[in-house]
Structure 1
């Protein structure tokens, strides 16, 4: 006799699920981004799919980041398996065209009351085509990442465009030095009762202020680089006015948007007092067309192989020079400069990165300087963004 909790929609008695093909494809593509890395744990290359009231829940994790979403489905309550992400995504994208997908577990064994099925195979039905994938039991799947019991959780919302802009504008300056692990992420914290994002690698400091008020709550969390990139990647192309629900506790951050919950372990460390390296208002200011400056620096670097560029400011002229293994080059451009004549050198890659972060639209940017050895302040067309760029001695 068949169990009462089995939905009577399929000709087979095996646990099955009928889902929308387009939704399944989109969700698989999203979760598969977490399954591409090399790991000695086979189940981490799989997506867990399990029945829930009204549909199926899909989960992927790399142990540090996890993504969860759901799809409405006609599903057998016993359905539960982990399927290989890469193979499943390929089928969803390239399999026989169909509007729906049927997943059927091919049972190896079942317990006596038929409430649970252990399967090593899952059939995927796409129109008239049928494919069989290897499956793993969900018991092998890691425990879900959750806030620790008793931890205080700060909850607030951020516009998706604001969050994407803040992460995208700071990720590039994150340190990759493993010995300074506390710099290997974006520092999300309260500054003047508003949310601020900061990153630094010791050579440059990127700050993105927002208008998100945190009230009486003092937030301080270091979101690891990989998690910041994953969230930014999911937001890219989907960022707008829609809010992102955010939860931050001592060890975990959660971002909920696009019907997806992304949970990440935070870096357990103390971010340094970065405000000490922010210079007071420098007395020399150059206003420059960011797109033109970037193009000229790129041309010099490509032609000379130089890693450092020299900028000489005088009146309405900026002279740019570089020397590298392939030779030396000079160029110039107009700028609005206020202050005494000054020559300063920057790492070419860091300078181009700062230009892109300050003015991705190639409009005017400002560089404020005190002298050739002090940090320079960079701002541009992105409201609330500030860069601190250390000069080189070369």
Structure 2
């Protein structure tokens, strides 16, 4: 392996940093998710880097979501810059193979003392190849997202697998209707002494109860959908026993995991009393294989172009029918059903979403029903998950 001449490349004239290439690539990969390239301010397409004791602090933000982390590095105390996320990510993934990356700030200023604030370019050395990226001063970076001074902050921990499961199992039902902005996220709150996650778009309601005790603490926060998805992406593939530390105030939520702190601006609004739509005592019950139901519904919808699917429940048989732009179709499957015969219609997209959320492993799922015009309660193999599905007009 060819030696990387670090001594020759790592000069002292300009603020410089020597960083492990793999660590930097992983860091930039995650932070770049917040820098879409379509932000209203150029600085928001950049990742902020600033020296700190023992390394470099990294920050990315889109004004509503902020991610912060640190890497160990051999760094000049004057090192501070903001680099374009997309270009830096491409360079780290596609640039000349190397075990380290050397960053050197370049400035038009002759005065070294001024280099910190006016550096306009950053040279990046990967093995024997040198690249130069345009840079912006960190003074342009937005103010950090923080809890308001004096705010009451509730702090607790959630197992990473529990948090990922709660977000993944509810996020699909979050509304996108901007006129009811307070539904555009995941409602996290305490219910009967435990942490509960809720989403609804008016057509369906998804609830994920957890085993996280909240005690007497009052927790109430609407986490925006985009922020919840970003937190889930941080955990995805790393979910396990390690807890996620959570801080919630009236305006900000902070999630800390994998040495990354994600701060989110909460939706300012009051979540509706969703419990009013939960059926009290349905008297009809059906147990059915979720995987088979999903396949049969998907096949009917694809072949007929239908937007609505009818389910007819009888003693040991479920009949599924649909009529759409390409014609109609009917199929049946085994079903353990208790109650009077019932036919009920659902929006095909919402039904498929509920099936996948209730039974992602294809195992048995359960319907609790009252009549053709009342909401159906759905549950399955995911412990603590409940879905409320509004019927459609046939």
Asked if TM exceeds 0.5, the reply is: yes
The answer to whether the 8 A contact 2:117-2:139 is kept is: no
SS at match of 2:118: strand
CA-based RMSD = 1.4
The answer for the alignment partner of 1:41 in structure 2 is: 41
The answer for the alignment partner of 1:381 in structure 2 is: 381
Map 1:18-57 to 2 at 5 A: 18-57=18-57
Asked if 1:257 corresponds to 2:257, the answer is yes
Asked if 1:152 corresponds to 2:152, the answer is yes
Alignment deviations for residues 285-338 of structure 1 (CA, whole Å, 9 cap, x no partner): 110000000000000000000000000011100000000010000000001000
The answer for the alignment partner of 1:310 in structure 2 is: 310
Asked if 1:301 corresponds to 2:297, the answer is no
For structure 1, list consecutive stretches of 5 or more residues without a partner in the other structure.
1-7
Using structure 2 for the length normalisation, give the TM-score: 0.96
Distance 2:196 2:301 in 1: 33
The answer for the alignment partner of 1:185 in structure 2 is: 185
The answer for the alignment partner of 1:270 in structure 2 is: 270
The answer to whether the 8 A contact 1:110-1:118 is kept is: no
Alignment deviations for residues 20-77 of structure 1 (CA, whole Å, 9 cap, x no partner): 0000000000000000151220010000011000000010000000000000000000
The answer for the alignment partner of 1:66 in structure 2 is: 66
Tell me the CA shift for residue 114 of structure 1: 5.7
Distance 1:215 1:115, change over 3 A: farther
Distance 2:11 2:113 in 1: 20
Distance 1:150 1:9, change over 3 A: farther
Distance 2:230 2:355 in 1: 23
Distance 1:334 1:258 in 2: 45
User: After TM superposition, what 4+ stretches of structure 1 lie above 2 angstroms from structure 2?
Assistant: 8-12, 108-117
The answer for the alignment partner of 1:287 in structure 2 is: 287
Distance 1:266 1:123, change over 3 A: same
Distance 1:111 1:269, change over 3 A: farther
Distance 1:273 1:209 in 2: 16
The answer to whether the 8 A contact 1:109-1:117 is kept is: no
Using structure 1 for the length normalisation, give the TM-score: 0.96
The answer for the alignment partner of 2:171 in structure 1 is: 171
The answer for the alignment partner of 1:342 in structure 2 is: 342
The answer for the alignment partner of 1:244 in structure 2 is: 244
For structure 2, list consecutive stretches of 5 or more residues without a partner in the other structure.
1-7
